[in-house]
Amino acid sequence: MKKLLQEREAFLAIAIVLICIAASIAWPGVFPTFDNLSQVLLNLSIDAIVAVGMMLLLISGSFDLSVGSVVAFSGGITAYLLYYCGMYPLPAVLIGMSAAALVGFINGYLVAKAGINPMIQTLAMMGIIRGAALMISGSGIQNLPADFNVLGQSNFLGLQSPVWVMLLVVFSFDFLVSKNIFFRRYYYIGNNEKAAMLSGIKVQKLKITGFILASLLAGLAGILLASRLGASLGTSGKGMELRVITAAILGGASLSGGEGRIMGALLGTIFMAVISNIMIIARVSGYWQEMVLGLILILAVWIDIVLKDPRGLSLKARFTKLKTS
């Protein structure tokens, strides 16, 4: 049992299933319907794409606070090109993605080569890019062309396209990060950067790549979001960075790096989305929702510390130790 609990992904998956069962019993006509569940999936797909990139960074021991701004930025640039310049969707999307990649490159370069702390670097970038996004989108660019909106609004097998894109991103990254030797190196960097460097791992190059990937995924999410809404907003993705970090940490990442799996990022996002959905169904006020998610995060990390304690101290021993020291 303890072993199972230590596997965060299994723990989360079981928790999600149990919560869903409980919710289905409590609100049989509302929660377990296809409409509700597919809506939940659609809503979480944007967050989950961004969470994949965040998980990759967290594994390597850093994180990116600017992803939420990049969501608005890339969506804004793409919308601007479509609406004001009359560009075709493909080049507009590619330019939007490139802009996101550039943000990631600047973050990665300044963190890896100049040695700026990722917290400070990406916090600053969060503000800069948010400003740029607001400048581009103004009070919002609406009525985007239909051949662009098709990206985020089409249906396949009953699920909307953002869900399929999200599943593709999650499963391909999960496969790569757990098997591919290039991506595997992020665990080494996150675990011990110095030792990784001395083992011949090109730490700086990989870190820059990590930031570019995280930003690209945020860019993709932003374009999907704009396409789904048929509009871009300068404020979209606000607060997303912390929500996504929360999901990744729930999913098994650690701020000190070296831990977590991509699948955990998805599960963490699903967990949070299901809880939110249930609270909406139960008509819990929005204030409470934020508080509950905060409490869940603290609890999850704390349980983790206790379960993984090499000294095998029990909860009680921990309390007495806290008191004495």
Partner 1 sequence: MIEQQTDISIEVRNITKTFPGVKALSDVNLSVAKGTVHALCGENGAGKSTLMKILTGNYQPDGGRIFINGKETVIKSQKHARDLGIGIVYQERSLVKNLSVAENIFTGNEPRNQLGFIKYRELFAKATVLLKKLNININPQVKVATLSPGLQQMVEIAKALSQQPRVLILDEPTASITETETKILFEIILQLKKQGTAIIYISHRMTEIFKICDVVSILKDGCYQGTYQCEEITIDDVIKKMVGREMKQIDVTSFIQNETAIEVRNASGNGFSNISFSARKGEIIGITGLVGAGRTELVRAIFGADELASGEVYLNGAAVSINHPSQAIKNGIAYLPEERKEQGLFMDMGIADNIISGNLSAVAKHNLLNKKLIKTAANSYVRQLAIKTPSVSTKVANLSGGNQQKVVLARWLALNPTVFIVDEPTHGVDIGAKYEIYQLLQNLAKTGSTIILISSELPEVLALSDRILLMYKGTITGCIPRLLASEELIMEYASGLKKDSAQMQQVA
Taking CB under 8 A as the rule, which mask of x and - marks residues 251-270 in contact with partner 1? -------xx-----------
- From 211, 214, 231, 222, select the one nearest 93 (Cα to Cα): 222
The 10 Å Cβ neighbour count of residue 198 is 10
CB 82 within 8 A of CB 89: yes
Residue 202 in contact with partner 1, rule: CB under 8 A: yes
In angstroms, the CA 150 to CA 115 distance is 42
* DSSP for residue 159: E
Residue 3 in contact with partner 1, rule: CB under 8 A: no
**Nearer to partner 1 (CB atom), residue 151 or residue 208:** 208
Q: Name which position in 135, 195, 282, 315 contacts partner 1 (CB under 8 A).
A: 195
Q: Which two tokens stand for residue 287?
A: 């204030």
The 10 Å Cβ neighbour count of residue 281 is 14
**Nearer to partner 1 (CB atom), residue 203 or residue 231:** 203
**Nearer to partner 1 (CB atom), residue 139 or residue 324:** 324
Whole-angstrom CA distances from 263 to 58, 96, 161, 285, 291 are: 13, 27, 20, 30, 25
Residue 113 in contact with partner 1, rule: CB under 8 A: no
Residue 181 in contact with partner 1, rule: CB under 8 A: yes
Taking CB under 8 A as the rule, which mask of x and - marks residues 26-65 in contact with partner 1? ----------------------------------------
Residue 188 in contact with partner 1, rule: CB under 8 A: yes
Cα torsion 24, 5, 264, 168 to 10°: value is -70
**Nearer to partner 1 (CB atom), residue 43 or residue 191:** 191
Residues that bind partner 1 (CB under 8 A): 179-182, 184-185, 187-188, 191-192, 194-202, 258-259, 310-312, 324-325
